[in-house]
Amino acid sequence: MRTGVFAGSFDPPTKGHEDIIERASQLFDRVIVMVSPNSAKHGMFTTEQKMKWLQVMTEDLDNVEIALCDGLTIARARELGGTVLIRSMRNEGDYLSEANNAWLNASMKQGMDTLFLIGKPEHSLISSSNVRELLKYNQSIEFLVPACVFEDLQPQFVHQAD
């Protein structure tokens, strides 16, 4: 069984993430979307909230499951039965860090290959950082995030603006 693992901090999930998950679900027998908190950053949203959004986003994709990673991504991916790491690249800015991680993961004992999925042009500038910045200033994020994320956050931020 081909199992792809798509890991990220998803703080919050974006339309770009949603697109990669949907496309990966067509390429693999099983896809694990792994919430992997970034130890270098303090997230805006709880792990539980991110996992809830990802569950809602993927409820129509029968071969997708959501998991938590609290350690090394490749170790957890292997533990869950992953055979390939899935990474997205929005633009050339993502290439260097992603290529370095792919090399490192492939070079490790019992390494794992990485499949890069290029983001669609309409998602090439969407990032969770952009979403958080807009939220900080009570701006609409509807065009950047899946409906379930927007519906959850809109009342909270509209209320703050009043």
Domain of 15, CATH number, reads 3.40.50.620
Task: Measure the CA–CA gap between 35 and 66, rounded to whole angstroms.
Answer: 8
Please give the backbone phi and psi of residue 116, each rounded to the nearest 5 degrees, phi first: -95, 130
β-strands 3-8, 84-89 pairing: parallel
* H or E stretch covering 80: none
Question: Which residue would you say has higher pLDDT here, 2 or 39?
Answer: 2
Q: Domain range spanning residue 106?
A: 3-161
CA atoms within 13 A on the CB side of 131: 25
Residue 161 has pLDDT above 50, yes or no: no
Could you tell me the CA-to-CA distances from 106 to 13, 89, 92, 158 in Å, in that order? 27, 18, 21, 46
Q: What is the percent of the chain where pLDDT is above 70?
A: 92
pLDDT value for 66: 98
* 89-123 confidence digits (pLDDT tens): 887 777 877 887 888 777 876 778 899 999 898 99
pLDDT value for 94: 79
pTM score, two decimals? 0.89
> Token pair of 70, please?
């609290």
Please give the backbone phi and psi of residue 130, each rounded to the nearest 5 degrees, phi first: -60, -40
Question: In the predicted model, what is the mean pLDDT of the chain?
Answer: 89
Q: What angle do CA 24, 88, 91 make, to 5 degrees?
A: 140
As for how many domains the chain has, the answer is 1
* H or E stretch covering 129: helix 128-136
Q: Of 52, 59, 58, 68, whose CA–CA distance to 22 is shortest?
A: 58
Task: Measure the CA–CA gap between 154 and 73, rounded to whole angstroms.
Answer: 32
- Residue 64 β-bridge partners: 31
